[in-house]
């Protein structure tokens, strides 16, 4: 089978499409024929060598955090799925994988998949797995968004941002999206009540907000100052500067900056699918690439500046 793998740490050109043996599911696992995967920040960090404690230093390393596809066969004791079931899910973000989501087949535990939402293609579904679950967990669990609260989504045009705008609106928030001005009409269409151009709007000119969801990871202290009394802030855009700001916020003042790594289980994916089925969350796909063009897809992801997700068509 074909699989995208990292052959050394570095720029996107260290990625290769290789021929490798198709894996077999063990107890509590399923084998999925992957139709689509997508590019996420986790993939580029692993590829660049940014988290060697997770990835290890032995090559090749599999890439592709998420996937959507069809169950081919199940391991012993699996009764909840059968061959032919359409599923979506993600590999464990904190474990090393020789083969991951960007491959023709992947083996995963049943606790890491869920029935794919009806009415969307595999391309569309996989664009929502990581982004949607990250936004859902951030808003529902980390900041506990309440109806009527004022929400700022920073980096609103990205994958997590477009999902967060929609989910915050569905939860009853009053949503302000901060993004490039050229994306304003699309973000209003996704549910943003107000869109600010990040190129011309200083942090000090925004807010106050009850909740800030940041996907950028810079200038966190400036945006933290725009929180109302009792306000909460969460960031998924980690950097050295972001980690310093998070640490400082836990010492000075009550408005602490939170962070986390999304690691959804089947229940979270089920809830995400409910939002999709209800029409509260829809996919935003910028461009689809064949698996063979994964280097180009990584390059495009790192350039940024687009609306939505870069998705890999694997076998669909």
Whole-Å CA distances, 71 to 1, 49, 128, 312 = 16, 32, 19, 19
* Least confident among 79-93, 246-260, 264-278: 246-260
Q: Is 20 exposed, middle or buried (0-12, 13-18, 19+ CB in 10 A)?
A: middle
Is the model more confident about 34 or about 207? 34
Q: pTM of the full predicted structure?
A: 0.93
Quick one: angle between helices 294-303 and 41-48, nearest 10?
110
- So what's the pLDDT on residue 240? 46
Superfamily of domain 2-120+283-313: Medium-chain alcohol dehydrogenases, catalytic domain (3.90.180.10)
- So what's the pLDDT on residue 54? 77
- So what's the pLDDT on residue 251? 45
What integer is the mean pLDDT of 172-179? 98
* Least confident among 31-40, 158-167, 211-220, 256-265: 256-265
Is the model more confident about 36 or about 217? 36
Hey, where are the domains in the chain?
Answer: 2-120+283-313, 130-259
- So what's the pLDDT on residue 259? 79
Q: What is the pLDDT of residues 106-131, one digit of tens each?
A: 999 999 999 999 999 999 999 999 99
What integer is the mean pLDDT of 19-30? 97
Q: What is the pLDDT of residues 61-73, one digit of tens each?
A: 999 999 999 999 9
Q: What is the pLDDT of residues 86-96, one digit of tens each?
A: 999 999 999 99
Does the domain at 130-259 match CATH 3.30.1490.20? Answer given as no
Q: Given pLDDT bands bounded at 50, 70 and 90, which one contains residue 283?
A: very high
CA torsion 284-289-295-299 (nearest 10°) is -40
Average pLDDT, the chain: 93
- So what's the pLDDT on residue 249? 58
DSSP string, 196-259: EETTT--GGGS--EEEEEESS-SSHHHHHTTEEEEEEEEE----HHHHHHHHHHHHSSS--EEE
What integer is the mean pLDDT of 177-206? 94
Q: Phi then psi for 163, rounded to 5 degrees?
A: -70, -40
């Amino acid at each position: 089978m074909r699989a995208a793998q990292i052959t050394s740490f570095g720029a996107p050109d260290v990625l290769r499409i290789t021929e490798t043996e198709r894996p077999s599911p063990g107890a509590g696992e399923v084998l999925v024929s992957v139709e689509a995967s997508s590019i996420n920040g986790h993939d580029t960090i692993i590829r660049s060598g940014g988290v060697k404690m997770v990835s290890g230093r032995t090559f090749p390393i599999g890439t592709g955090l998420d996937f959507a596809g069809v169950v081919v066969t199940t391991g012993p004791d699996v009764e909840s799925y059968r061959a032919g079931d359409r599923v979506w899910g993600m590999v464990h973000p904190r474990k090393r994988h020789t083969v991951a989501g960007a491959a023709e087949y992947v083996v995963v535990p049943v606790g890491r998949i869920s029935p794919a939402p009806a009415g969307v293609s595999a391309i569309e579904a996989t664009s929502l797995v990581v982004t949607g679950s990250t936004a859902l967990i951030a808003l529902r669990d980390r900041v506990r968004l309440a109806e009527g609260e004022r929400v700022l989504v920073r980096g609103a045009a990205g994958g997590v941002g477009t999902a967060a705008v929609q989910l915050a609106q569905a939860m009853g928030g009053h949503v302000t999206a901060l993004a490039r001005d050229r994306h304003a009409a699309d973000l209003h269409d996704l549910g943003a009540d107000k869109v600010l151009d990040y190129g011309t709007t200083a942090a000090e000119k925004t807010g106050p907000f009850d909740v800030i969801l940041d996907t950028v990871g810079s200038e966190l202290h400036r945006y933290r100052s725009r929180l109302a009394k009792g306000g909460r802030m969460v960031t998924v855009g980690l950097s050295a500067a972001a980690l310093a700001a998070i640490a400082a916020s836990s010492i000075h003042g009550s408005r602490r900056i939170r962070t986390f790594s999304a690691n959804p289980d089947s229940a979270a994916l089920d809830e995400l699918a409910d939002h999709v089925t209800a029409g509260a969350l829809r996919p935003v796909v910028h461009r689809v690439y064949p698996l063979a063009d994964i280097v180009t897809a990584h390059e495009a992801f790192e350039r940024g500046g687009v609306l939505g997700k870069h998705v890999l068509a694997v076998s669909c």
